[in-house]
Amino acid sequence: MALIVHKYGGTSMGSVERIQNVAKRVAKWMRAGHQVVVVPSAMSGETNRLLGLAKEINSQANPRELDQIASTGEQVSSGLLALALLKEGVDAISYAGWQVTIHTDSAFTKARIMGIDDQKILADLNAGRAVVVTGFQGVDPQGNITTLGRGGSDTSAVAMAAALKADECLIYTDVDGVYTTDPRVCEDARRLDRITFEEMLEMASLGSKVLQIRSVEFAGKYKVKTRVLSSLTDPLMPLDQEMKSGTLITFEEDSTMEAAVISGIAFARDEAKITVLGVPDRPGIAYQILGPVADANIDVDVIIQNQSVDGITDFTFTVPRADYQKAMDLLKNKVQSHIQAKEITGDPKVSKVSVVGVGMRSHVGVASKMFRTLSEEGINILMISTSEIKISVVLDEKYLELAVRALHKAFELDQQ
């Protein structure tokens, strides 16, 4: 008998029929003798609907009240799932995050989990119940309901698995695992049987939408065995078959994984590039440029500072496209004259493509192969960023899909 945490996304909970299928799947695991905790998301589209209503009433809505509203989506889906389980003959009970309790800080709409009280859940599990706990939410020290930000149900599930010392956390989605790249961009994309936490973390941070990045960080930190698999398969498929499906996220590299130099290609479409020209090259200049940007809650990604010539340099970085105009206005109005920069230019239509693989540690020539491939396709590289297991390039948005397909073929990711 194992303790298993199931997480189901909004698509998996998107209708009464799908909720009933989730109940059949959970019931199958329970009847096999396992203890199961289920963390469901709100029904597909429900959170957007609720927040849309709030914005119609007040476009400058208070974050505390937004959390009060948004959290109800998960409570509805949890209650419905508990009812479906009871109909399947499974003793089940649902809890909201504040009933368990899932403790968070007070950063409304983007709270972080501080701890989970597991006694109530363990008591129910030992009594033979399936326990359904809302994802995406918790409660702060003042008793306010908080939410964890988009994708927070993944984080809730992994945190729950860590707190309960679960044998495995199964993340059920509308895809059947982690792919070498997005199949919608490259038809030769291949599902990976396994991937390391390091690789998955890079893939999530670089644009892969399969798992929310905070959930991967949590899983890696607390060594939660995690598997990504599809909820759209037959809920009554044999359990041994289901337990081997999807993609397993592992803690350690093995010889097979090392043989594959590159495991996947991630990309982000919605990037923008900003260049601050003619900057005095002096200590603290990077902070004087990026400090105000960070204070405005704008994420900065790839950063390049050119070599100084006669004490003058250029400084280039990328930001999310949605924050491009805000960042440009901030730099022109509050930073440029202060740091005596000559000019500030930008390009809101760039994208980022990255190759990721733990095998890069023990193989040379990955960068040269990547750059040669892009060159042969006539693709100009605007910026380059590297880490131990990834290489990222920024390029014109129009070349994104061509670059992904060319690199996928060059690194033979379509081969087993």
Question: What is this structure's pTM?
Answer: 0.83
Taking only the tens place, the pLDDT of each residue in 356-398 is 998 888 788 899 999 999 999 999 999 999 988 999 999 999 9
**pLDDT-derived band of residue 278, with 50, 70 and 90 as boundaries?**
very high
| Structural domain spans, the chain | 3-252, 264-410
Residue predicted with more confidence, 269 or 209 = 269
DSSP state of 332: I
Query: Could you tell me the fold of the domain covering 264-410?
Result: VC0802-like (3.30.2130)
For tokens 């960023």, the residue is 385
* 219-234: average pLDDT: 92
Residue 259 has pLDDT above 60, yes or no: no
Taking only the tens place, the pLDDT of each residue in 6-33 is 999 999 999 999 999 999 999 999 999 9
Query: Could you tell me the fold of the domain covering 3-252?
Result: Carbamate kinase (3.40.1160)
pLDDT at 100: 93
Mean pLDDT of the chain: 92
Calpha distance 52→71 (Å, rounded): 14
Report yes or no: 351 and 267 within 8 Å, Cβ to Cβ: yes
Residue 297 has pLDDT above 90, yes or no: no
Q: Given CA atoms 345, 347, 348, 350 in this order, what sign does their dihedral have?
A: negative
pLDDT at 254: 52
pLDDT at 319: 96
* 43-48: average pLDDT: 94
Residue 63 has pLDDT above 90, yes or no: yes
Residue 258 has pLDDT above 80, yes or no: no
Residue 85 has pLDDT above 60, yes or no: yes
pLDDT at 175: 86
* 165-184: average pLDDT: 92
Q: In this structure, which long-range contacts are made by residues 162-166, counting pairs with CB atoms below 8 Å and at least 24 apart in sequence?
A: 162/218, 162/219, 162/222, 162/224, 163/115, 163/116, 163/118, 164/3, 164/5, 164/37, 164/118, 164/121, 164/122, 165/3, 166/2, 166/3, 166/4, 166/5, 166/37, 166/224
Taking only the tens place, the pLDDT of each residue in 147-170 is 998 778 999 999 999 999 999 999
Taking only the tens place, the pLDDT of each residue in 112-126 is 999 999 999 999 999
pLDDT at 105: 95
Calpha distance 291→294 (Å, rounded): 5
b or e along 357-381 (b: 16 or more beta carbons within 10 Å of the residue's beta carbon)?
A: bbbbeeeeebeebbeebbeeeebeb
Residue 255 has pLDDT above 60, yes or no: no
